[in-house]
Structure 1
Amino acid sequence: MKLLFLIADGMGDWPLESLGGKTPLQAAQTPNMDAMAAQALMGRCRTVPEGMAPGSDVANMALLGFDPAQHHTGRGPIEAAAQGLELDPEDLVWRCNLVTVTDLGLSGTMRDYSAGHITSEAALPLLRDLQDHLGDETFTFHPGVQYRHLLVQKGGALEDEATLAIRPPHDITDKPVKPDLMTFSHSPRLWDLLHGAAERLAHKNNTTKANSIWPWGQGRPLHLPGFRQAFGLSGAVISAVDLVRGLGRAAGMEVIEVPGATGLLDTNYQGKVDAALKFLETGDFVFVHLEGPDECGHAGNAADKTEAIARFDARIVGPLRQALGDDAAWLIACDHYTPIQERTHTSDPVPFLFLAPGITGQSAAAFDENTADAAGLVLEQGHTLLNWCLERIKR
């Protein structure tokens, strides 16, 4: 039987006055998920282990069946796996955002963690320039997707920088950067790199909103068990973001690139659907990830987040359900909450829906945070969810 995990990143939320006391998921038009809820098992799943930061890296690793407490080394290493970078065990890999700050003084503020959602095409010459002028035997810049890039520090896992705690830029939008600058100052070479990059980005030829880099999420290279060996399934991941692709590549899964997949509201929904169906002609498991709701949550835009969820239902869930129907098993969830009020991730247990032939559900009228909570089922270890689904398919 084919198994699909359909993940709307950051979909979970809290009630909002602007939505009449509803969450974006409750406010969105989601007829496909609601129809499935009438037959499905529902509950909540704790995708972020206690004591770990509620990031997409941790949460999606758990959803793919791997225990973050055992395997997670940092966000940067996951995205390095997506790029297939050749790394030594002692290398330190940083996620390196292009960002917009008011300035890099102690009174500075993080204005935009994505530099205005800079395109990959606009970011590439900036990264090449940084590498040409600042790259050396210790630090190398590696272009990624949109604002998401990498900085590799040769042998850095053995250096003091490995323990620096820099906040993710999406956690500090419109907030002072002083605490992080104080942390950066503990590493003179990282401090010089940060300010040297700002000087390069101030060049008149840079017409983007990117005026600084922001290294964070560092760790040693990632190693995961093989997905087929761990779960007996041939699997694939489909996502616009390097993070999810990196997890898939590290686990030996097929990583399917979809042209026009942007991670935003304008992503290529039909391309993702077509890619999933093509893979399932011979494959067993596909992990379809949609970034849009998370980006809208970080922006604090309730209307756009509601629309992103509606599009997930209409353009991902609906077409796949129509194509495969009762001949497949379905898990629908988010990886973590990205509440509009917070504009960053939280570690709330996420709602999930599971539907497969022979399943007797709770006859819920809709799929949302409240109906999942009312089901009374909570999986305290998120990495067990995949096996939980497989056990019910086998029954």
Structure 2
Amino acid sequence: MKYLVLLGDGMADFAIPELGGRTPLEAARTPAMDEIARRGICALFKPIPDDLPAGSDIGNLSLFGYDPHETFTGRAPLEAARQGILLGENQVAFRCNLVTLENGTMRSFTSGHISTREAAEIIPSLNEAFADLPVQLHTGVSYRHLGIVTSQDLSVEELSQVKCEPPHNITDQAYAPYVPGGRAGEFLQLLMARSQDVLATHPVSRARRERGDLAPTSVWLWGQGRSPKMRTFRDRFGIDGAVVSAVDLVNGIGVCAGMHVLEVPGATGYLDTDYEGKVTAALGALERVDFAYIHVEAPDETSHEGKLDLKLRAIKDFDSRVVTPCLDWALKRGDVRIAVAPDHITALSTKTHAGGPVPFAMFGPGVVPDATLVYSEPEAAKTGIVFPNGHEMVPAMIELPVVDAAALLGSRT
């Protein structure tokens, strides 16, 4: 048996007045996801536990089949794992966004989706400015980078526990109330201040302003933590897996799970990503391994921007360019179970994440169809079924010989 998870990051949402009270998933044309729901089961599940913050880190851990209560230590350590960075006992990893702060607000948590090439010119300049401080920045993808802080005057506990707000939570809001406080917060503020001096005159910032693009004005550190301890996929399920994503966080979970990370040069984490390249890489890997995870970031990014038209486009592209070819491949083979789902809600109305149940659909050998005909939040809710422990959905997909809603609820509790 082959197993394939198709993850549309943040594509779940609430009803939108401009859509006549429908959600984006209801309004977008999604024949392939509807077909999976029609051929299999569709219900609600909770990838974000009620007592944990809604985020792609926790949501994707759940979709990989890992209990966030046991494995989550922070977003940045997972990204560090992707980059091959081994954290010492006295080190804490921070996510380091390049952001645009303007008129006291978080104008853009992506610096206008700055390119990786441009960011790679900036990070060394920032490291020069931080040379006397116990921090080293590492270039990631686009606006997403890492800062590894070594404990000196500050303890590991102080660094790990400082309250840091994800910048995508405060788009177009005043950022001052969210600047970290305390001794560790003062250190992070120092890094921000020095970065602002560098970026004000950096050639990349100047060139972007001259082109009319948003320019990075500061770093923003958050999502910190120490290395997680996770059992590998092979140790847990006896199979090998592969993951393809533009996002270091998701690839880092794959690294910690002992999976193959598939490189797709055109994967950007936005609407211009190489959908076809990601599908080709994943389906090719499934000739060698038994599990693959395709992660698409665009629905989440467009939701954080608050752009309804772009979220609808992202969902449509996910369906037509990822789900459709994967469904066709699975139907030809006949030995594939597919699950399609988001990792959380990303609400256009607030431009940020929200917890609560989200819809999943699953089909394949041994999956008993229910009566659902359309994949969406309201249709999944009509089943009256909420799979409470989201991290148990994929293990059930792999381990249960027969999968229906009753089996999911009965055998995993």
Answer whether TM exceeds 0.5 for this pair.
yes
Instruction: Give the % identical residues.
Output: 40
CA-to-aligned-CA distance 1:185-212 (integer Å, 9 cap, x gap): 7643322221011101111523341000
2:24 is equivalent to residue 24 of structure 1? yes
Instruction: Measure, in 1, the Cα distance between the counterparts of 2:185 and 2:165.
Output: 16
Instruction: Measure, in 1, the Cα distance between the counterparts of 2:155 and 2:257.
Output: 22
Kept after mapping to 2: 8 A contact 1:264/1:291? yes
Instruction: Measure, in 2, the Cα distance between the counterparts of 1:256 and 1:393.
Output: 29
Kept after mapping to 2: 8 A contact 1:81/1:246? yes
Partner of residue 220, structure 1:
226
Task: Give the one of 128, 139, 150 matched to 2:124.
Answer: 128
2:319 is equivalent to residue 330 of structure 1? no
Q: Secondary structure at the match of 1:297?
A: helix
**335-344 or 158-167, which moves further after superposition?**
158-167
Partner of residue 142, structure 2:
146
Instruction: Measure, in 2, the Cα distance between the counterparts of 1:60 and 1:222.
Output: 14
* Counterparts in 2 of 1:288 and 1:202: CA distance versus 1, 3 Å: same
Instruction: Measure, in 2, the Cα distance between the counterparts of 1:232 and 1:376.
Output: 33
Partner of residue 199, structure 1:
197
Kept after mapping to 2: 8 A contact 1:157/1:220? no
Please report how far the alpha carbon of residue 68 of structure 1 lies from its aligned counterpart in structure 2 after TM superposition.
Answer: 0.7
Tell me the amino acid that sits aligned with residue 322 of structure 2: I
Please report how far the alpha carbon of residue 178 of structure 1 lies from its aligned counterpart in structure 2 after TM superposition.
Answer: 1.7
Tell me the amino acid that sits aligned with residue 354 of structure 1: M
Partner of residue 256, structure 2:
250
* Counterparts in 2 of 1:322 and 1:186: CA distance versus 1, 3 Å: closer
Instruction: Measure, in 2, the Cα distance between the counterparts of 1:240 and 1:212.
Output: 23
CA-to-aligned-CA distance 1:283-318 (integer Å, 9 cap, x gap): 100010000100111011111111111111111111
Instruction: Measure, in 1, the Cα distance between the counterparts of 2:202 and 2:391.
Output: 48
Instruction: Measure, in 2, the Cα distance between the counterparts of 1:141 and 1:173.
Output: 24
The alignment's TM-score, normalised by the length of structure 2, stands at: 0.91
Tell me the amino acid that sits aligned with residue 375 of structure 1: T
Tell me the amino acid that sits aligned with residue 111 of structure 1: R
Instruction: Measure, in 1, the Cα distance between the counterparts of 2:281 and 2:263.
Output: 9
Please report how far the alpha carbon of residue 182 of structure 1 lies from its aligned counterpart in structure 2 after TM superposition.
Answer: 5.5
Q: Is there any run of 5+ residues in structure 1 with no aligned partner, and where? A: none
Q: Output the aligned Cα RMSD.
A: 1.6
Tell me the amino acid that sits aligned with residue 31 of structure 2: P
Task: Give the one of 289, 297, 300 matched to 1:294.
Answer: 300
Instruction: Measure, in 2, the Cα distance between the counterparts of 1:214 and 1:369.
Output: 34
Please report how far the alpha carbon of residue 132 of structure 1 lies from its aligned counterpart in structure 2 after TM superposition.
Answer: 1.7
Instruction: Measure, in 1, the Cα distance between the counterparts of 2:259 and 2:155.
Output: 27
Instruction: Measure, in 2, the Cα distance between the counterparts of 1:9 and 1:27.
Output: 17
| Length, aligned pairs only | 391
Q: Is there any run of 5+ residues in structure 2 with no aligned partner, and where? A: 209-214, 404-413
CA-to-aligned-CA distance 1:173-192 (integer Å, 9 cap, x gap): 11111222252676433222
* Counterparts in 2 of 1:390 and 1:157: CA distance versus 1, 3 Å: farther
Tell me the amino acid that sits aligned with residue 190 of structure 1: L
Kept after mapping to 1: 8 A contact 2:244/2:278? yes
Partner of residue 365, structure 1:
373
Q: Secondary structure at the match of 2:230?
A: coil
Q: Secondary structure at the match of 2:60?
A: helix
Partner of residue 186, structure 2:
188
CA-to-aligned-CA distance 1:32-88 (integer Å, 9 cap, x gap): 111222121111111112221101001100111111111111111111011011220
Tell me the amino acid that sits aligned with residue 378 of structure 1: V
Instruction: Measure, in 1, the Cα distance between the counterparts of 2:49 and 2:89.
Output: 25
The alignment's TM-score, normalised by the length of structure 1, stands at: 0.95
